[in-house]
Amino acid sequence: MNWRVDVAVHTPAHSALGDLLSYRHDAALPKGTLVRVPLGRREVLGVVWRSEADADAAAPASGEALALKPIGAALDTLAPLGEGWRDLVAFAARYYQRSLGEIALSALPPQLRDLTGVQLARRLKRRASLEAAADTETTGPADGTGIPALTPEQHTAMAEINAATVPFLLFVSTGSGKTEVYLRCVAELLERDPTAQALVMVPEINLTPQLEARFRARFETDFGAGAVVSLHSGMTNPQRLASWLAAHSGTARIVLGTRMAVFASMPALRLIVVDEEHDPSYKQQEGARYSARDLAVWRGRREGAKVVLGSATPSLESWYRSRPAEGADPGGNYLRLAMPSRVGAGALPTVRTVDMNLQPARTVLSGALLDAIGQRIARGEQSMVFLNRRGYAPVLACGDCGWKSECPHCSAFRVFHKIDRTLRCHHCGFAERVPRACPACGNLDIAPVGRGTERLEEHLGELFAGVTRPDGSVVRIARIDADSTRAQGALQSQLAAVHAGDVDVLVGTQMIAKGHDFRRITLVAAINPDGALFSSDFRAPERLFSLLMQSAGRAGRDAAYLAAQDATAEMWIQTHHPQHPLFAALRRHDYTAFAEQELADRRAAGMPPFAFQALLRADARTQEAAQAFLNAADQRAVSLPGTERVTRYPAVPLAIQRVANVERAQMLIESPSRAALQQLLAQWQPLLQALRREPEGKGVIRWLVDVDPHSI
């Protein structure tokens, strides 16, 4: 007997092949079974999506099934992927305009693609025996030491989470104990339901170790050594496979991971936590450009799992969706839970703005700020100075002829890195040794213009060379950014040095502003945050406010330390616009005021969350070719049904127009109705694919659709 099975495989993007390929097999395979199937001359991993035994598959004539290629092997030692998981994948593919196979296969651990059925069976057997051994290691119920009694705010939040089923927005103050709430929610779930699983998502890998240690300490005693697993791109392929298998089989009760973890196969998923839900890294920026936060909310509803989004500076989308009912407005469909008080931490830092208009021209660090940092060094406290630009200087320039360190391949300058004396393009990676003289006129006097973290570190070293620490030793300045942390383990050791008190002044990019629980930092300074105030990207102020609030949250986290030092925590902001309402709200630590003002502006301008957007982007050898594709696409959309509810803006070059010799253009599409936008995109997709092969598609290297884009 031959059965037809329709299999999702990873076909090339926008290829003429459909979403599902058909094969035959001598037995009916349940949906969700992993199979290896021939594709061209290779054999690839696939997921059975439909089979002939199902009512929804068109029954083929028996002759048709015979003409199909047989599947290579069924990996049926592994339980099939569940219906909830398959629905999530299908939804993500539809919503983000990608192929089913691409989403399905990229949601699986890479190593699964290379294993034969025999190898997989062997691995499963080994896991089973390891688990049996681990089970006997559980030491019985934990004695509860180290678990704090909940504060009234934490208690109320938990009670609300237990009582309702809607998505929750946990709106907290930095250091208010939201992680403790997550831990308790997970603990109660695991105790109540002997099979239930929880998914806890965090934005960045570098925040995971601290959190992972905390979860392991809390749960491994009661639930076994394998109860907590991680899932993120910093793991090796075998580690990822092991975590994935543990989640899929249900032995892992808690999965901690970054955005990719939203696709983890978890058959008994009952709770999803999205920590720092506003963080831009939840949005995937290449391939399928999904938002893991938005998918988490969808998945929670589909699987009946509670969803808790947490942040001190929620995204305006989540803030708006959690608005309380008022007058005729029934309110949003999320429930907002507030935890405004800090636990165990001192008062929020005093925010000081320095008016840079009153400083001598070209001042980098104002005298008052230098004094404040100097005093802290002398008292043995730590300061953190951040600047969102790495390298020594963003440009190298010749004073004689005006030459600048442009990248020959991009419409951008190459950054001067003094440490290895290179000019490096941060867009295409093109790097060269710094020229001895001006390449245009031979002038020997070429100079760095502007300032990055490397130069700031050097500058601070010079300024504080004469200042000593309480024990008489010399000041220690350290830098943490993408350059300093390139080597494996570098970030961990650098963070450890800060925690150990081996650093007096920490310089860095936004990497240091997020999440870290430094205990001895009493001063945080933003050197030059003005760029985002007047950016053409409408989300720039939202991101800046959140970054500054998060940074402020790094100061004065330990009330006992502050009291012992008799110190107050401070956040310093150097700006040319001290009267800006964003800084006024920041001074009062008033996210609510900032959010309401921003929302009013967005509403007036008809921007998200009051409208829904997508970008159509085209890359080509010339800007004309890229725009020609977009203009033709625009023409094709004119006659599509429902198009009158969607605004299509003219094609424009990207802010950085050329990268690696490729010209880039985009077109914004917007609608007050998400459904109308989705309808247009779905009908447009086949026309866009066809366009590639028409004259207007000539010269287009790639095109893509970005739904709910983050920056435009």
List of residues contacting Zn ion (CB under 5 A): 398, 400-401, 403, 407, 409-410, 425, 427-428, 430, 438, 440-441, 443
Contact 625, 651 (CB under 8 A): no
Nearer to Zn ion, 76 or 400 (CB): 400
Contact 710, 537 (CB under 8 A): no
Contact 592, 673 (CB under 8 A): no
Distance in Å, CB of 174 to ligand ADP, minimum: 6
Nearer to Zn ion, 170 or 397 (CB): 397
Instruction: Identify which range of 175-183, 197-205, 233-241, 630-638 contacts ligand ADP by CB under 6 A.
Output: 175-183
Q: 706: which strand partners? A: 615
- From the list Zn ion, ligand ADP, none, partner contacted by residue 410 (C-beta under 5 to 8 A by kind): Zn ion
| One of 18, 110, 148, 238 touching ligand ADP (CB under 6 A) | 148
Site for ligand ADP in 335-374 (CB under 6 A): 343-344
**Minimal CA–CA distance to 314: which of 284, 349, 274?**
274
Torsions phi, psi for 341 (to 5 deg):
-95, 145
The rounded distance, in Å, linking the Cα atoms of 540 and 531 is: 9
Q: 306: which strand partners? A: 271
The rounded distance, in Å, linking the Cα atoms of 281 and 232 is: 13
From residue 166, give the alpha-carbon distance in Å to each of 173, 185, 336, 501.
22, 15, 10, 43
Contact 598, 541 (CB under 8 A): yes
Binding-residue total with ligand ADP (CB under 6 A): 14
Torsions phi, psi for 150 (to 5 deg):
-65, 145
**Minimal CA–CA distance to 542: which of 611, 481, 601, 610?**
601
- From the list Zn ion, ligand ADP, none, partner contacted by residue 176 (C-beta under 5 to 8 A by kind): ligand ADP
Burial 173-201 (b: 16+ CB within 10 A, else e): bbbbbbbbbbbbbbbebbeeeeebbbbbb
- From the list ligand ADP, Zn ion, none, partner contacted by residue 409 (C-beta under 5 to 8 A by kind): Zn ion
Contact 171, 315 (CB under 8 A): no
Instruction: Identify which range of 57-65, 168-176, 459-467, 488-496 contacts ligand ADP by CB under 6 A.
Output: 168-176
Give the H or E element holding residue 424. strand 422-424
Site for ligand ADP in 2-31 (CB under 6 A): none
Q: Spell out, one character per residue from 424 to 463, where the chain touches ligand ADP: x when CB under 6 A holds, - when not.
A: ----------------------------------------
**Any contact of residue 179 with ligand ADP (CB under 6 A)?**
yes
Tokens 């170790």 belong to 209
- From the list Zn ion, ligand ADP, none, partner contacted by residue 331 (C-beta under 5 to 8 A by kind): none
**Minimal CA–CA distance to 521: which of 588, 569, 476, 485?**
569
381: its two tokens? 């406290």
Distance in Å, CB of 208 to ligand ADP, minimum: 14
Distance in Å, CB of 257 to ligand ADP, minimum: 17
Give the type of residue at 377.
Answer: I
**Any contact of residue 331 with ligand ADP (CB under 6 A)?**
no
Instruction: Identify which range of 144-152, 199-207, 244-252, 466-474 contacts ligand ADP by CB under 6 A.
Output: 144-152
- From the list Zn ion, ligand ADP, none, partner contacted by residue 538 (C-beta under 5 to 8 A by kind): none
Q: What is the DSSP letter of 435?
A: P
Instruction: Identify which range of 143-151, 243-251, 329-337, 457-465 contacts ligand ADP by CB under 6 A.
Output: 143-151
Give the H or E element holding residue 657. strand 652-659
**Any contact of residue 33 with ligand ADP (CB under 6 A)?**
no
Distance in Å, CB of 146 to ligand ADP, minimum: 9
Distance in Å, CB of 308 to ligand ADP, minimum: 12
**Any contact of residue 484 with ligand ADP (CB under 6 A)?**
no
Instruction: Identify which range of 178-186, 447-455, 485-493, 561-569 contacts ligand ADP by CB under 6 A.
Output: 178-186
| One of 99, 176, 284, 453 touching ligand ADP (CB under 6 A) | 176
Site for ligand ADP in 284-323 (CB under 6 A): none
Contact 478, 490 (CB under 8 A): no
The rounded distance, in Å, linking the Cα atoms of 246 and 470 is: 51
Nearer to ligand ADP, 152 or 695 (CB): 152
Distance in Å, CB of 108 to ligand ADP, minimum: 31
**Any contact of residue 178 with ligand ADP (CB under 6 A)?**
yes
Tokens 């999205």 belong to 274
573: its two tokens? 């902001």
Nearer to ligand ADP, 180 or 504 (CB): 180
Nearer to ligand ADP, 145 or 536 (CB): 145
- From the list Zn ion, ligand ADP, none, partner contacted by residue 367 (C-beta under 5 to 8 A by kind): none
- From the list Zn ion, ligand ADP, none, partner contacted by residue 441 (C-beta under 5 to 8 A by kind): Zn ion
Nearer to ligand ADP, 482 or 559 (CB): 559
**Any contact of residue 153 with ligand ADP (CB under 6 A)?**
no
| One of 154, 315, 509, 671 touching ligand ADP (CB under 6 A) | 154
- From the list ligand ADP, Zn ion, none, partner contacted by residue 151 (C-beta under 5 to 8 A by kind): ligand ADP
The rounded distance, in Å, linking the Cα atoms of 364 and 366 is: 6
The rounded distance, in Å, linking the Cα atoms of 388 and 122 is: 49
122: its two tokens? 């062997």
267: its two tokens? 């058959």
The rounded distance, in Å, linking the Cα atoms of 342 and 129 is: 45
CA geometry: angle at 162 spanning 160 and 166, to 5°? 75
**Any contact of residue 172 with ligand ADP (CB under 6 A)?**
yes
Nearer to Zn ion, 343 or 440 (CB): 440
Q: 352: which strand partners? A: 572
The rounded distance, in Å, linking the Cα atoms of 243 and 252 is: 8
The rounded distance, in Å, linking the Cα atoms of 391 and 422 is: 10
Nearer to ligand ADP, 171 or 629 (CB): 171
From residue 382, give the alpha-carbon distance in Å to each of 176, 372, 518.
22, 11, 9
Nearer to ligand ADP, 396 or 495 (CB): 495
The rounded distance, in Å, linking the Cα atoms of 247 and 268 is: 9
Instruction: Identify which range of 171-179, 295-303, 423-431, 454-462 contacts ligand ADP by CB under 6 A.
Output: 171-179
Distance in Å, CB of 584 to Zn ion, minimum: 39
| One of 19, 102, 180, 598 touching ligand ADP (CB under 6 A) | 180
Nearer to Zn ion, 18 or 402 (CB): 402
Q: Which residues bind ligand ADP (CB under 6 A)?
A: 148-151, 154, 172, 175-180, 343-344
